[in-house]
């Protein structure tokens, strides 16, 4: 069975929240999957500019407590670019970050960069796991 419904599995990555400081999303277990795509929905963006903004980055590790985490870059599995929320023009938009590295666990973090100001961003994200070792991944409705 080759279709997106049965070939992908989704899980929360970031609950809908207001970023007003650094924040960490859920740790995603990539066992049995070869890739992960984070899909972000940015709601409102207030006062974000070059003096106060957020960077959405991925971190990966092999330990479930993420004590060995490293930032994900193009050289170790990042697909796309970190999302820099430095303008109100990001309001009501979507963005994606992908991962194809070899680490077992993965999570997204919002890193606040402050020179001056009080920026705030509302967003949420889901992780789409793909290329599972066992398929179908989503078995709802199968006989």
Q: Where are the domains of the chain?
A: 4-130
* pLDDT for the residue 71: 97
Rounded distance between C-alpha atoms, residue 65 and residue 56, angstroms: 20
Three-class DSSP category at 87: coil
Top CATH class of 4-130 equals mainly beta
pLDDT of 143 above 70: no
pLDDT at res. 8: 81
Tens digits of residue pLDDT in 34-68? 889 999 999 999 999 999 999 999 999 999 999 99
Q: Identify whether the C-beta of residue 137 lies closer than 8 Å to the C-beta of residue 14.
A: no
State the pLDDT at residue 138: 58
Q: Look at residue 99 in the predicted model and tell me its pLDDT.
A: 95
Q: Give the Cβ contact number of residue 115 at 10 Å.
A: 9
Q: Has residue 90 got a pLDDT over 80?
A: yes
Q: Using one digit for the tens of pLDDT, what is the confidence trace for 21-42?
A: 889 999 999 998 888 999 999 9
Q: How far apart are CA 87 and CA 140, in angstroms?
A: 40
Q: What is the pLDDT of residue 135?
A: 58
Mean pLDDT of the chain: 89
């Amino acid at each position: 069975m080759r279709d997106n419904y049965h070939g992908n599995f989704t899980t929360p990555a970031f609950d809908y929240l207001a970023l007003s400081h650094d924040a960490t999303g859920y740790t995603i277990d990539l066992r049995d999957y070869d890739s992960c795509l984070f899909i972000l929905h940015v709601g409102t963006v207030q006062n974000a500019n070059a003096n106060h903004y957020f960077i959405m980055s991925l971190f990966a590790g092999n330990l479930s407590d993420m004590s060995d985490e490293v930032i994900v870059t193009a050289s170790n599995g990042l697909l796309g670019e970190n999302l820099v929320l430095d303008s109100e023009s990001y309001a009501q938009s979507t963005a994606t970050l992908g991962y194809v590295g070899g680490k077992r666990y993965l999570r997204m973090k919002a890193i606040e960069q402050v020179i001056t100001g009080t920026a705030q961003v509302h967003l949420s994200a889901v992780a789409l796991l793909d290329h599972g070792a066992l398929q179908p991944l989503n078995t709802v409705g199968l006989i």
